[in-house]
Structure 1
Amino acid sequence: MSIETLGIDIAKNVFQLHGVNKAGRAVFKKRVMRDQLLQVITRIEPCMIVVEACTGAFYWARKFEELGHKVKVISPQYVKPFVRRQKNDGNDAEAICTAARQPHIPSVPKKSIEQQDIQALHRARQRMVNHRTAVVSQIRGLLLDRGFAMAKSITRARRLIPEILSDHDNELTPLAREAIAELHDLFRDLDRRIASFDKKIDAVFRQSESCQRIAKIKGVGPKTATAVIAAIGDGSEFRNGRHLAAWVGLVPRQFSSGDRTTLMGISKRGSQHLRSLLVHGARAVVRTAPNKTDPNNQWVNQLRERRGFNRATVAVANKNARIIWAVLHKGEPYRAAF
């Protein structure tokens, strides 16, 4: 039995294995429990192991590589078309194996432990930010119900909520005041926790030479730089900068047929968090460009006049993604084109 490609359908406790030889013929099928998986993989000669990108995929990828195997991680969206008949673990493992053997199927960049640590910081911080937004919205709604209108701004909320709570001559009842005060305490606690995560991300940024190189690009700050490193590492999984921009979802979707080419809105594929950071950074570049006269900002201003603010923002984000790939791939410092 010679296995060339081994597809593994990863789950929490049960794992389905499907191995094929060079001719694509199935030569190995096995269903194992979590505590048996590494023992089974140890007895298999080194081959290409393929898993879907999911929770735990990168952990198992590192374990399999330690045993001498090559590992490929592919996106579930490329596996689904190859699932035959009914969906079950056996068919899923077979589909993973079949998809991995297609020459045009891209792989997902593997993540090291350090990259996953940085990603954990970003995900935890984003969770806190979402909670803070929800708390402020609820406070704003409760105050509006009592006749206090407040603009949608975190800065104004920090200033106005304490003023309203400290004014005992307004129409807030004691019970409403206590409820809103508790929510305000939660709001302040979330602020403190977010600031703590910001310090940790800044510390990671200062210790990473790659982060500091790409942070010299206009529109890329510490949070964007660390998120990029956590997502793509050195960018070696991408053929070029355009490939990275497409993976992030900063290129138009197509609906073309024959000689008719139709371009739609951006595809919004890949990491939503990374795309948001790139777009927010680009928005700052476009917003401040009218006050500057250097060639790069003149290009941004001309683009804004032709296509509008939003399209110019996405174009700058796309360009920054391509520049980031070039800086990481070549290992050289960023040099402005103008």
Structure 2
Amino acid sequence: MSVRRILAKTIDTDLEYEAIGIDLAKNCVSAALITTEGEVVGIDRLDYSELEKSAQVLCPTTFVMEPCTEMNYLVQKLEAWGHRCLVIGGKHVRDYIENHYSGQKTDLNDAQALAFLAKDTQLRTIKAKDMEQQKYASLTTLREQYVRPLCL
């Protein structure tokens, strides 16, 4: 069964979404939004500020993303606004794209794969770090760099 993807420029905050898959990049995100009616809305480039403005007014939904440096910060913000966040490993996304998109790995295909993977209740997800865990990880890394002998 082929799913038709509707392309948009922004998130329609009047609709309710079952899942929102976001592929994070440095300056923008690609998003695939699955409505409660099953339609897939794709947004190729969306600024982080636009994503945050929309997320603040959206009905609680599930945001899905791959692990990266921006992920922990974004998860904390989204959960504070009442959303549920899932972090899915890149291997699952690659496998989904290989099986459903003939291996065509694009940002929008990644986002859509993440949105559909949110429906898989058996999939093992990754837990995002809270603020205390991030502080501890930073201190541990700094200590390791300080203690490590200099290589000349």
Length-normalised TM-score, structure 1: 0.37
Match of 1:48 in 2: 62
- 1:116 maps to a residue whose letter is Q
Q: Which of 11, 27, 33 lines up with 2:47 in the alignment?
A: 33
2:123, 2:147 → 1: CA distance?
Answer: 35
Gap runs ≥5 in structure 2:
1-14
Higher Rg of the two aligned structures: 1
Query: 1:95, CA displacement in angstroms?
Result: 1.2
| Cα distance per residue 1:114-133 (max 9 Å; x no partner) | 11000011122233344x1x
| Structure 2 Cα separation of the partners of residues 127 and 17 of structure 1 | 37
Hey, which of these two has a bigger chunk of helix by percent? 1
Amino acid aligned to 2:139? L
SS at 2:114's partner residue?
helix
Give the Cα–Cα distance (whole angstroms) in 2 for the partners of residues 110 and 65 of structure 1: 11
Corresponding residue to 1:112 among 130, 134, 148: 130
Q: Once the two structures are superposed, what CA deviation does each residue of 1:239-274 show, in whole Å capped at 9, x if it has no partner?
A: xxxxxxxxxxxxxxxxxxxxxxxxxxxxxxxxxxxx
Determine if the alignment matches structure 1 residue 72 to structure 2 residue 86: yes
The letter of the residue matching 1:96 is L
* Distance verdict in 2 for CA 1:122–1:28, change over 3 Å: same
Amino acid at match of 2:40: V
Paired position in structure 1 for 2:117: 99
Deviation (angstroms), 1:40: 2.0
Structure (1/2) with the larger strand percentage: 2
1:124-163 aligned at under 5 Å gives the runs 124-130=142-148, 132=149, 135=151, 138=152
**Counterpart of 1:81?**
95
Q: Do structure 1's residue 10 and structure 2's residue 24 form an aligned pair?
A: yes
Q: Residues 129, 79 of structure 1: CA spacing in aligned structure 2 closer, same or farther, 3 A cutoff?
A: farther
Q: State the identity as a percent.
A: 29
**Paired residue type of 1:78:** H
The total of aligned residue pairs comes to 133
Choose between structure 1 and 2 for higher RCO, CA contacts under 8 A separated by at least 6 residues. 2
Counterpart of 2:33 in structure 1 is 19
AA aligned to 1:101 is K
Deviations 1:107-150 (A, max 9, x none): 112211111000011122233344x1x52xx4xxxxxxxxxxxx
SS in 2 for 1:20: strand
1:21 is aligned with what amino acid?
T
Aligned to 2:73: 59
Report the RMSD for the aligned CA atoms in angstroms.
1.9
